[in-house]
Amino acid sequence: MLSLTATLCIVGVGLVIVVGGILGFRLHAFLALVLAAIVVSLLTPNSTVEWYRLGKLQIPVLNQQEGTATLDLKASPSHQIGQQFLLAKQVEATGSVETVATATLARFDDKEHAIVDIMPVEGSTGVDWDKSIVVTPQAREDATAFANQTVGNLVAGGFGATCTGIGILIALAAIIGKCLLDSGAAEKIVRWMLSIVGEKNAPLSFIFSGFALSTPVFFDTVFYLMIPIGKAMRLRTGKNYLLYILTIVTGGTMAHSLVPPTPGPLFVAEELGVDVGVMILAGGLVGLSCAMVGFLYSIVLCRFVDIPLRESPDMSLEELQNIADREDSDLPSIWMSLMPIILPVLLITGATVMNTVLKGVDQADISPVIHWVDQFFVLFGNKNIAMAISATLAIIMLVRQKKSDVSDLANSLQAALASGGVIILITAAGGAFGKSLQQTGIANLFGDVAGASTTMILVIAFVVTALVRLAQGSATVSMITGVGVMASFAAGVELGFHPVYLALAIGCGSKMFLWMNDSGFWVIGKMSGMTEWETLKYVTPMTSVMGVFGLLVTILAANAMPLV
C-alpha cells in the first residue's frame, strides 16, 4: 500500500510535469498531459493499480456479523445459492492484494439482498471489514490482468475511454460553432438581444448572448465575435466601453466552464458520471446567477472608471463602423440562428426529465402517448444524436445563407474539425492523466473528509482547480486536472450529495486567477485595447468574484438539496 507521502509525491510529480511542461518548456497541453500520465503510471506499483481496479468492481456490504454478511446484491437468475465470492485486502506492509476469506451465497433475505457465509482463508492476515472488500472471483482475475498491462496500454485505455464519451460531441460542437460564425447567425443573435432590451441595456444583451454562444463556441472565439459589436456600441453611445467589455466576458466565461457541450464541463460531467442534461440545467442556473453577480460588479466599477476606445490590432475604427452599419437582411433569421443552440438543449434535457419522471414506474402503467414520448427522447435525446441533428441544421443554415459551393462548405467544415480535433486530443490526454492519478489511490487522502463534510469536499475541489488555473492558465486544463484528483468521489453514496455539485465546484474553481499565463487574458486585453495592468485590475477580480460566488451557491444547494 502506498503511504500518504508516496502518494502525494507521485501526484505532485504529475502536476509539476503538466504545469512545468506548459509554462517552462512551452509544451503543447496534449504532450504535457500524456507525458504526465505515463510518468505517474510508471511510478504507481501494480498492486496499487490492482487495488484501485478491485474497488471499482466491489460489491457493497450492507452489514456484517460474525461469520455472515449482507451484500447489496439482488436475487436474479445469474446469482445462485452456493455461489462463491472473495474478501480481498491490501496488506499494509507489502502493498500486495491478498484474499483473506471466501464468502458463500447462503440465501436471500426478505429484501432480496444476498446473505453470505464467511470462511477465513488459512494463513491469511485475517478479515478486517474496515479494509476488506467483497468481489467475485472473475473480478479478482480482471483486476490482476488490468494491473499487469503495460504502462502504454493503461494510458491508452484512459485516453480511449475519454474519447468514447466526448469525442463526437466536441467535433459536432466545433462544426456548429463554425457555422454560426460563418453564416452570421452569431451576430444575428447578438443584434436580436439588443433589439429586445434596447441599446440602453446593451450590457444585459451581451451577457445573455455571450452565455448562449459560449456553449457550442469556445470563449476566445465568442470574444473575437462580440468585441467588435461592443466597440460599435461605444461609437454610438460615446461611453461605457469598459462595461461592454466586462459584460461580454461575464456571459461567455461562465458558460465556458459550466455548460456542456463546451469541452471543460462536458469532460468533467463524463468523468463524474453526471448526466449531460443535468449538467446543462445545473450549470445554466449557477452560471447565470454568477453572471448576474458579474454584471453588478461591472455596473458598480464602471460608475467610477472607464477606458477609452483605442485602436487594436484586429481592426480599425473605420472597419468597426462598417460592422455597425451592416444590414440585417445579410443575416439569417433569428429562429434559424437560434435553432442549432436551442434544439440539442431541449432534446437532451427532455430525455433527462423523462428518465427522472418515469424512473421506477411500471411500463404497464404508462399510457401509449407517454410511452411514445419516452421512446422519442430515448432516440433523439441521446447527446450524440441531438448534437448531430443540431450540426446538420447549422450546415443547412450556412449553405442557405452563404450560397457557397461544395468545396467552400468542405473547407469550412475542415477548419472546424481541425479546431475541434485539437480540443479532443487535449481532453482525451487529460482523461488519461486523470485515470493515472486515480490509480495512485489519491481518493484515500480525502476519505475522512468525504465522510465528514459536504462543504469541505466542494472547497477542496474548488481550491485544487483554482491552484492549477493559477499555475498554468488554461481553464479547461485546470478542470481536467481537478476532476482527475476528485473523480474517485463520483459515487453518490460516498459523497452524500449528487456529483453534479462536485462538477460545479470544479467549474467555478477554473474561473479564479485570470492572468498573463492564460491565452484568454491576452485575447481580452489585445482585442479590447486594454493594457495588461487594466486587464489585471478590472477583469481578473470580476472572474474571481464570480467563481467564489458560484462555489457559495453550489455549497448552499448541495447542503439544502443533496439529491441522493
Instruction: Report the percent of the chain where pLDDT is more than 90.
Output: 27
Looking at residue 389, its pLDDT comes to 92
The mean per-residue pLDDT over the stretch 40-48 comes to 92
The mean per-residue pLDDT over the stretch 271-280 comes to 88
Looking at residue 173, its pLDDT comes to 79
All residues at 6 or more sequence positions from 386 whose CB lies less than 8 Å from its CB, including other chains: 343, 344, 347, 348, 380
Q: Which residue has the higher pLDDT, 103 or 185?
A: 103
Which contiguous run of DSSP H or E holds residue 115?
Answer: strand 113-120
Looking at residue 444, its pLDDT comes to 61
The mean per-residue pLDDT over the stretch 194-213 comes to 84
Task: Reply yes or no on whether the pLDDT at 155 is more than 50.
Answer: yes
Evaluate whether 344 touches 212 at the Cβ level (below 8 Å): no
Q: How far apart are CA 482 and CA 278, in angstroms?
A: 20
Task: Reply yes or no on whether the pLDDT at 519 is more than 80.
Answer: no
Q: How far apart are CA 469 and CA 482, in angstroms?
A: 10
39-48, 357-366, 430-439, 499-508: segment of lowest average pLDDT = 357-366
Evaluate whether 387 touches 261 at the Cβ level (below 8 Å): yes
pTM (two decimals): 0.73
Q: How far apart are CA 158 and CA 165, in angstroms?
A: 11
Which contiguous run of DSSP H or E holds residue 38?
Answer: helix 29-43
Q: pLDDT tens-digit profile of 345-356?
A: 788 878 877 877
Task: Reply yes or no on whether the pLDDT at 363 is more than 70.
Answer: no
Torsion, CA 326, CA 331, CA 334, CA 336, rounded to 10: -170
Evaluate whether 509 touches 461 at the Cβ level (below 8 Å): yes
Looking at residue 502, its pLDDT comes to 93
- 306: pLDDT confidence band, cut at 50, 70 and 90? confident
The mean per-residue pLDDT over the stretch 62-83 comes to 87
Q: How far apart are CA 100 and CA 119, in angstroms?
A: 9
All residues at 6 or more sequence positions from 70 whose CB lies less than 8 Å from its CB, including other chains: 61, 62, 63, 64, 109, 113, 114, 115, 116
Looking at residue 115, its pLDDT comes to 92
All residues at 6 or more sequence positions from 216 whose CB lies less than 8 Å from its CB, including other chains: 173, 176, 177, 180, 261, 262, 340, 341, 390
Task: Reply yes or no on whether the pLDDT at 207 is more than 80.
Answer: yes
All residues at 6 or more sequence positions from 365 whose CB lies less than 8 Å from its CB, including other chains: none
Looking at residue 492, its pLDDT comes to 45
Extract the C-alpha cell encoding 148. 499487469
Looking at residue 123, its pLDDT comes to 82
Looking at residue 493, its pLDDT comes to 46
- 511: pLDDT confidence band, cut at 50, 70 and 90? very high
Task: Reply yes or no on whether the pLDDT at 216 is more than 80.
Answer: no
Mean pLDDT, rounded, of the chain: 83
Cβ count near 208 (within 10 Å): 18
Q: Which residue has the higher pLDDT, 529 or 558?
A: 558
All residues at 6 or more sequence positions from 111 whose CB lies less than 8 Å from its CB, including other chains: none
- 313: pLDDT confidence band, cut at 50, 70 and 90? low
All residues at 6 or more sequence positions from 539 whose CB lies less than 8 Å from its CB, including other chains: 245, 246, 249, 514, 521, 524, 530
Extract the C-alpha cell encoding 49. 493499480
Task: Reply yes or no on whether the pLDDT at 317 is more than 80.
Answer: no
Q: Which residue has the higher pLDDT, 106 or 327?
A: 106
Report for 153-162, 310-319, 364-373, 548-557: range of highest mean pLDDT: 548-557
Evaluate whether 51 touches 90 at the Cβ level (below 8 Å): yes
The mean per-residue pLDDT over the stretch 408-434 comes to 81
Coil/strand/helix, residue 178: helix
Coil/strand/helix, residue 95: coil
Extract the C-alpha cell encoding 467. 491552484
Q: What DSSP string runs through 315-375?
A: B-HHHHHHHHT--GGGS--HHHHHHHHHHHHHHHHHHHHHHHHHTT--GGGS-HHHHHHHH
Cα distances (angstroms) measured from residue 357 to each of 345, 374, 462: 18, 10, 32
* Strands of 132-135's sheet in order across: 61-65, 68-74, 113-120, 97-108, 84-90, 132-135
Coil/strand/helix, residue 149: coil
Task: Reply yes or no on whether the pLDDT at 522 is more than 80.
Answer: no
Question: What SS3 string covers 151-162?
Answer: HHHHHHHHHHHH
DSSP E strand boundaries for 226-296:
none
All residues at 6 or more sequence positions from 370 whose CB lies less than 8 Å from its CB, including other chains: 358
| Pairing mode, strands 68-74 and 61-65 | antiparallel
Q: pLDDT tens-digit profile of 85-124?
A: 999 998 877 788 999 999 999 999 888 899 999 999 888 8
All residues at 6 or more sequence positions from 458 whose CB lies less than 8 Å from its CB, including other chains: 501, 502, 505, 551, 554, 555, 558
Extract the C-alpha cell encoding 307. 477606458
Task: Reply yes or no on whether the pLDDT at 252 is more than 60.
Answer: yes
Q: pLDDT tens-digit profile of 171-180?
A: 887 788 778 7
- 11: pLDDT confidence band, cut at 50, 70 and 90? confident
Q: How far apart are CA 309 and CA 314, in angstroms?
A: 13
Q: pLDDT tens-digit profile of 282-293?
A: 999 999 999 999
Task: Reply yes or no on whether the pLDDT at 508 is more than 70.
Answer: yes
Task: Reply yes or no on whether the pLDDT at 410 is more than 70.
Answer: yes
Looking at residue 247, its pLDDT comes to 93
Cis peptide bond upstream of 368, omega within 30? no
Query: Would the CA dihedral through 2, 61, 126, 149 be positive or negative?
Result: negative
Q: What is the CB-side half-sphere exposure of residue 332 using CA atoms within 13 A?
A: 28
122-126 long-range contacts, CB within 8 A, separation 24+: 124/98, 124/99, 124/100, 125/89, 125/91, 125/98, 125/100, 126/100
Nearest of 183, 182, 263 to residue 219 by alpha carbon: 263
Looking at residue 299, its pLDDT comes to 94
Evaluate whether 502 touches 49 at the Cβ level (below 8 Å): no
